[in-house]
Structure 1
Amino acid sequence: MERGHRLHPGRRWLTLLPWLLLTAHAAHKSDTGGDAATTLINHSSMVIQRLQELLQNGNASDSTLRIRTSNSDEVKVIHTHQLLLTLQSDVFEGLLGNKSAVTLQEPPECAILFEKFIRYFYCGEITLQLNQAIPLHRLASKYRVSALQKGVTDYMKTHLASESSQGHVVSWYHYAVGTGDETLQESCLKFLAWNLSTVMSSNEWVTVSDDLMISLLQRSDLVLQSELELFAAVEEWVNRNNPNVSIIEKVLRSIRYPMIPPSQLFQIQKQSALLMSHQHFVQDLLFQAFQFHSASPLHLAKYFEVNCSMFIPRNYLSSSWGSQWIINNPARDDRSLSFQTQLGPSNYDSSKKITWNALFSPRWLPVSLRPVYSESVSSGSQSNRLEEGRPRLVVTSAMSGLDFAGVTFQKTVLVGVRRQQGKVFVKHVYSVHQSTDEVSDFLVHADLQKRTSEYLIDNSLHLHIIVKPIYHSIIKAK
């Protein structure tokens, strides 16, 4: 401090604040040693209230932030306290230095939240709404407030299924790509893939970027009614966004035409303006699709490479590929379900069905943990061990002796959660292949005993089991 400069009493108190907090913490630790009558007197909420009053009234402020936005003459002035800003942000430390005032240029969506952002420095908490997540995350990133940045990221990852009028997951994905946040990016991408039918019918669909569209279309874990539904949504997206020809070619060639029945293929060839205008991009794929439907997959595999994405079904919700299963009071007892699926997506196999049996157990125990019913083991002990079990789901074919040469079956289980307005969204996806009957790690962290469990909707477990054939190449015919 310069000689002759008298520190304002409020500033002197703020300068001593870290020392006071450390001293109080040390005193508390020493006071709690060895005295059974020791108690904690906690007035931290009062301290936080006084700090907020400092911001609200501008008492003893030693720095001024002037917030401006482009294309506007309006200036927002906030009287602050340099100590509290620099404790959490080295950017503010560099900006303020020996200055008493600094002008900051912010976009309108950030400027309107700047006072809320500064309030966080005084109380360590902040209220968030969906439309505020990106601007607050941008402010936390710009001024390197790491705790707030992480908090907003966690909020975004846990509120993907929250209700919003215009949608928010697509914009969060694009923001995550721009900031290089790969964790948030992957969380958004999974949510969009697992709830694509809902996204395609929302206002968000037309805001999907070219890169995001291509990324989605390349995935086999898309959850939707049918491939025809996807084609119709892609056509709408192209008509609304008018992408360049190279993008149109990429998205059209990403549609899995063999997964569309022949009658519907004929229909879109005659009725789709997009396909009629650009059919030359996919003529070979359409021809391949009709070949696929005209012969057995086993015969087709002798001449064509069938172990590729074009012949892999996505997670279709239609009854041909699985069954919805709503289990009421899932913690009560074991349940079973039988359902049928089509042998394959080929029209050649459309009349052939496979029957599947599903068994759900809420408290299955491995053999090593199962109770031994004997006189030496009390019934209470046996009951306690049963409570140690975890949910189990087994899906097996009820038809033995069938020849499945050249094909295996992937079993996928979707677990739904509910958000506002009664809509059910997929939050958890489990997949196993034919060689395994039990779904690995199924609801391993779920507590089905609690009605408030995130896995339950009105005390019911909402599942959708999908069984899809995966073709494999065999010895080629000469």
Structure 2
Amino acid sequence: MSSVHARSVPDQESRVNTPETLRRRATPLPGNAQTSKSIASTHIVGDLGAFTTNILRYYDNPDFSDIILVVGEHRFYAHKFALSSQSDVFRDMFVVSDRCVGCPDFQKELEVNESKECEAVFPQFLRFFYCGKISLSSDTALQLLVLASKYRIESLRSACDSFIAAMVEDGDLSSAIRWLKYASKYNLRDLASRCVDGAIADNMEDLVESPQWLSLPSECVEEILKSSYLLVPDEFYLYDAMQRWLMNRRKSTSDEVVREDLIRFLPELRFSQMHSNQLLAVEESPLCVQYRPILRNYLGDAYRYQILAKQCSDFRDPMYLPRDYTDKQRCVNIHFHPTRNKRAAPSAFYGNGRWEIQPRRYYDTVNIVIILKKPLDEDVKVCISILIYKRNSDILMRLRRKPCVLRPVDMTPAPTMIQGGRQSNAPNARHENRRSNSTLESGSDGKNFHGTGLRQHKTPHGPINHLRGPHNGQEYYAIDNIVSDADFQTASSQAGPSGIKFGVIIRTWSVAEDNFRLVK
């Protein structure tokens, strides 16, 4: 019988204080090893490519495998160390789960339940643990994102999220709808918001008028109705779209299910933004006749808003906020002729003269300057969208500025301009913008506008200037919205006899203690 002799190892305290240890510390290293010059000459060597290749050999390899993953009808040889090193979920499975207790190593199996779509990409997903890289495509990115989110692999989740975000921002409506279905199914909130607020919001009318609208799952319809960025004629348009979806659903499901869907949808509709004649049309609609007790409170609150909004500050819920409506009362139309208007075009006014909208020539493009003509008493949040129309008056694209907060005069920060993901002072940004404004605000080169029929979400840019003007010496704000060179050239190609037709939508809220209400 063989025996194993254990050698005692001194603890940390004894190792530190032994005379031999102290003597070695006091002995200088040979030569100039302790000098900074020697340290600077030290090189780190290695071959990461060969290292990755050697590790990759163990992917789905029974050699040294200590776990077998059963995914559907497939079995994969894996290694606990490789899986646990990148996934806390797998580590917890191995540590906490008692499925493998008492089994020989070669018989240990772990069954994981995945959807059919995720089963198809699981080999690629598992391979990522052994090489740290993966190929993404429009057919696999969403399933890999689901797996990465489930097993909390941040590096892969971030890569899939960025890949999908880039495709959603390209304005592909069909892809956005497909990804929204997955996002709703797996509760991927960030992806769902990106799909809705991007391609779907910009092309909402196209979606509602297509057969796809009536076939959407209820979770997707609810997610769409939540968005404040929907580009629609008015709020009644959304009510009518919801009504058609519910009436179509009644053909294939019970009345109780339709009632539950209606109860979920109604809080997302902004009845307060409907005109009186539209509210009357809602009361007379087939949906309201069928479910009047459910709609009664929403209609009553909308009538109360119509009467008291200007005198009462109690309307602080998101249901009282407008969306990007394109009707004439909410969207101001202006024209700018690329050749005739050398400096500026005639101004337009919005909100009983509260805002002045003035198109000005800016190098080879146009700057839509929006001027607040009245002083502020409190912080105000401003959302600005600029529409560019085709010759036939259809919307070509929407330029959506990120929300900004205007503060009273004594609280005004220094003007800044967003430049390629960083902030810079407005005077310097003006010169830098001359070289690069075609890409900074657009997020793309605009090539997808030709022949696609889809509208993209783009972002105009420019500083918020604090000016002192001729209005009795009072101070006011001017918000620059500079259209990119590429977008301006696209718009010029669609200009009619009176020039490029723009539409400007201004939404404002009072900001106080993280609450907001509409500023009339």
State the TM-score, normalized to the length of structure 2: 0.53
Correspondence for 1:237: 245
| Counterpart residue type for residue 278 of structure 1 | Y
Alpha-carbon displacement from aligned partner over 1:95-123 (angstroms, at most 9, x marks no partner):
88962352423322222222111110221
How far is 1:53 from its partner?
4.8
Correspondence for 2:323: 314
Q: How does 1:100-179 map to 2 (within 5 A)?
A: 100-101=106-107, 102-107=109-114, 108-161=116-169, 163=172, 164-165=174-175, 167-175=177-185, 177=187
Question: Structure 2 vs 1, CA of residues 273 and 189 (structure 1 numbering), >3 Å: closer, same or farther?
Answer: same
Question: Structure 2 vs 1, CA of residues 236 and 132 (structure 1 numbering), >3 Å: closer, same or farther?
Answer: farther
Answering whether residue 443 of structure 2 is matched by residue 455 of structure 1, we say: yes
How many pairs align?
Answer: 383
| Counterpart residue type for residue 460 of structure 1 | A
From 37, 49, 52, give the equivalent of 1:45: 49
From 282, 286, 308, give the equivalent of 1:273: 286
Correspondence for 1:77: 75
Correspondence for 2:403: 430
CA distance in 1, matches of 2:300, 2:62: 77
User: 2:386 touches 2:505 (CA, 8 Å); kept in 1?
Assistant: no
Correspondence for 2:371: 396
| Counterpart residue type for residue 234 of structure 2 | S
| Counterpart residue type for residue 78 of structure 1 | F
User: 1:411 touches 1:434 (CA, 8 Å); kept in 2?
Assistant: no
CA distance in 2, matches of 1:109, 1:337: 55
User: 2:213 touches 2:245 (CA, 8 Å); kept in 1?
Assistant: no
Answering whether residue 105 of structure 2 is matched by residue 99 of structure 1, we say: yes
From 389, 408, 412, give the equivalent of 2:383: 412
CA distance in 1, matches of 2:246, 2:178: 21
Correspondence for 1:88: 86
CA distance in 1, matches of 2:518, 2:176: 45
User: 1:302 touches 1:473 (CA, 8 Å); kept in 2?
Assistant: no
Alpha-carbon displacement from aligned partner over 1:301-353 (angstroms, at most 9, x marks no partner):
56997777676532213454335899999xxxx97565546647xxxxxxx99
CA distance in 1, matches of 2:120, 2:362: 52
The two structures, once aligned, show a CA RMSD in angstroms of: 5.7
Alpha-carbon displacement from aligned partner over 1:422-448 (angstroms, at most 9, x marks no partner):
985777532456968999755344575
Answering whether residue 358 of structure 2 is matched by residue 357 of structure 1, we say: yes
Correspondence for 1:466: 505
Q: How does 1:205-244 map to 2 (within 5 A)?
A: 206-207=215-216, 209=218, 217=225, 220-242=228-250, 243-244=257-258
Identical counterparts, % of pairs = 15
Query: What secondary structure, in the 3-state scheme, does the structure 2 residue paired with 1:356 have?
Result: strand
| Counterpart residue type for residue 429 of structure 1 | K
Alpha-carbon displacement from aligned partner over 1:165-213 (angstroms, at most 9, x marks no partner):
4724433542564xxx665566566548854726645637754546x75
Question: Structure 2 vs 1, CA of residues 314 and 434 (structure 1 numbering), >3 Å: closer, same or farther?
Answer: farther
Q: Mind listing any 5+ residue stretches in structure 2 that lack a counterpart?
A: 4-35, 251-256, 389-394, 422-431, 447-484, 489-501, 511-516
CA distance in 2, matches of 1:425, 1:67: 48
Instruction: Compare 81-90 and 110-119 and name the one that shifted more.
Output: 81-90
Query: What secondary structure, in the 3-state scheme, does the structure 1 residue paired with 2:418 have?
Result: coil
Query: What secondary structure, in the 3-state scheme, does the structure 2 residue paired with 1:126 have?
Result: coil
